[in-house]
């Protein structure tokens, strides 16, 4: 196994098996529990791909639908009974970047791993089960659509991008869910749930040699795909798709969102660029920031923000529950348009970032999330985030911040 010096002097062990499956182990005595996950690089962003000279369009929501059918314990009540007896917890989630299957527990780690691996590596999707699942997922979609915050976030991203995968939510559309078929789901499972397109992460109290030998033995008969698959991506346009939209729903208070579409400049380190942007936005709009104070003085205290990378762009989203929509827009525009870090602020933000990162190693689920997020985002572990943050300079950060143009944005209001 390859020993990787992870962030903040922690250690992760990596091994790439003969079939291409990558394994990451974080053994620690800080916890008596364990958290194990299996992930595939198949998420909602994959909408078209080519295999053996043939192009396939993917039904919207298929990655999420596939997650439901793979992680199905209703067909195996004995397995679910064992998990309950062991006091373990199983779950799964799908993002744009991939799908993750996980189990958390304290005892019988290898028995639990077999239960998890059997679901992920031995799925058998039948048409009658797909038909039954449609109603469940449609109900989930209806619940999401009735949530104004979900509606606000997904719709503003859709209005920001022209051709990107975020035009549609991870769960898909009503039409896509109704059109799901066992034939397509089995093809996608065969094409994307292959060892060279997957990775395993295990964090917690275990012996690393025993663990890697167990995983090798379980997966020894899982063969890599013989066919090369290439993902087809649309080239995104610089402009936003829709400048402004108003939606009418039965709400007690208006809600609004702004999404700024920032193109990542060529020849910059994306990790450093995103870190600088997040540090500056976090400082300006945090509870101790100038923007927060002005928003609070204007009676706007219920707001939040987040940013995400999408097809070579950074989407910076601000959401608020307020009737003072114009005031909110002007204040956000004002402060986002003049983002700047001085030496004292940058050093303070660096210290907070490193402290938060160090504390994350006290929780094995946070460690797994750090590893899996890196893999989904970069196809590798970023094992020097602390070094990267500490090496950021004021000039470098401010040069990055000058690329943020507040004119390229979209507004969404839910009345």
Confidence of residue 386 (pLDDT cuts 50, 70, 90): confident
- Asked if the model's pLDDT at residue 75 lies above 80, the reply is no
Query: Which has more confidence, 131 or 146?
Result: 131
pTM for the structure as a whole: 0.93
Give the pLDDT of residue 237: 93
Token pair belonging to 311: 């097809």
Query: Which has more confidence, 373 or 288?
Result: 373
Average pLDDT score over residue span 278-295: 92
Q: Which of 98, 80, 99 is nearest to 90 (CA)?
A: 80
In order, the DSSP letters of 203-234 are EESS-HHHHHHHHHHHHTT-PPPSS-EEE--P
Evaluate whether 2-229 and 244-414 have a shared fold.
Answer: yes
Q: Which of 356, 344, 346, 363 is nearest to 386 (CA)?
A: 356
Confidence of residue 357 (pLDDT cuts 50, 70, 90): confident
User: In Å, how far are 55, 96, 365 from 172, measured between CA atoms?
Assistant: 20, 11, 27
C-alpha–C-alpha distance, residues 404 and 314, integer Å: 10
Average pLDDT score over residue span 110-121: 96
Domain 244-414 has CATH 3.10.129.10: no
Average pLDDT score over residue span 302-312: 91
Q: Which of 69, 72, 52, 40 is nearest to 192 (CA)?
A: 40
Give the pLDDT of residue 73: 77
Give the pLDDT of residue 365: 96
- Which pLDDT tens digit goes with each residue over 58-67? 999 999 999 9
Confidence of residue 342 (pLDDT cuts 50, 70, 90): very high
Token pair belonging to 346: 């940058």
Report the chain's mean pLDDT, rounded to a whole number: 94
Please state the domain extents for the chain: 2-229, 244-414
Give the pLDDT of residue 177: 97
Give the pLDDT of residue 102: 97
Burial of 403 from C-beta contacts in 10 A (0-12 / 13-18 / 19+): middle
Q: Look at residue 65 and give its three-state secondary structure.
A: helix
Average pLDDT score over residue span 235-259: 91
Give the pLDDT of residue 131: 95
CATH topology for 2-229 is: Cytochrome Bc1 Complex; Chain A, domain 1 (3.30.830)
């Amino acid at each position: 196994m390859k020993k990787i010096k992870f962030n903040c002097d922690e250690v992760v062990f990596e091994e790439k098996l003969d079939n291409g499956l990558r394994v990451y182990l974080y053994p620690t005595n800080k916890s008596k529990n364990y958290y194990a996950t299996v992930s595939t690089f198949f998420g909602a962003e994959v909408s078209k791909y080519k295999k053996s000279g043939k192009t396939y369009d993917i039904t919207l929501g298929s990655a999420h639908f596939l997650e439901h059918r793979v992680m199905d314990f209703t067909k195996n009540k004995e397995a679910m009974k064992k998990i309950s007896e062991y006091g373990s917890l199983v779950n799964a989630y799908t993002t744009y970047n991939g799908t993750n299957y996980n189990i958390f527990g304290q005892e019988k780690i290898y028995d639990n791993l077999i239960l998890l691996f059997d679901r992920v590596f031995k799925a058998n999707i039948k048409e009658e089960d797909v038909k039954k699942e449609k109603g469940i997922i449609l109900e989930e979609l209806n619940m999401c659509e009735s949530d104004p915050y979900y509606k606000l976030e997904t719709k503003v991203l859709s209005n920001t991008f022209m051709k990107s995968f975020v035009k549609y939510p991870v769960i898909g559309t009503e039409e896509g869910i109704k059109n799901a078929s066992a034939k397509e789901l089995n093809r996608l499972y065969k094409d994307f749930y292959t060892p060279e397109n997957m990775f395993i992460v295990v964090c917690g109290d275990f012996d690393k040699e025993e663990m890697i030998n167990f995983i090798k033995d379980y997966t020894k008969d899982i063969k890599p795909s013989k066919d090369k698959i290439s993902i087809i991506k649309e080239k995104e346009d610089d402009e936003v798709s829709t400048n402004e939209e108003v939606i009418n729903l039965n709400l007690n208070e208006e809600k609004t969102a702004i999404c700024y579409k920032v193109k990542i400049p060529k020849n910059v380190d994306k990790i450093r660029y995103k870190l600088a942007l997040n540090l500056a936005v976090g400082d300006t709009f945090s509870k101790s920031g100038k923007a927060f104070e002005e928003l609070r003085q204007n009676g706007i205290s219920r707001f939040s923000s987040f940013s995400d990378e999408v097809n070579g762009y950074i989407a910076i989203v601000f959401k608020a529950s307020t009737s003072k929509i114009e005031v909110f827009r002007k204040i956000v525009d004002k402060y986002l348009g003049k983002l700047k870090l001085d030496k004292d602020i940058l050093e303070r933000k660096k210290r907070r970032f490193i402290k938060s990162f160090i504390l994350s190693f006290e929780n094995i689920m946070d460690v797994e999330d750090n590893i899996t997020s890196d893999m989904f985002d970069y196809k590798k572990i970023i094992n020097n985030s602390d070094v990267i943050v500490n090496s950021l300079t004021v000039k470098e950060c401010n040069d990055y911040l000058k690329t943020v143009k507040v004119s390229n944005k979209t507004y969404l209001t839910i009345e």
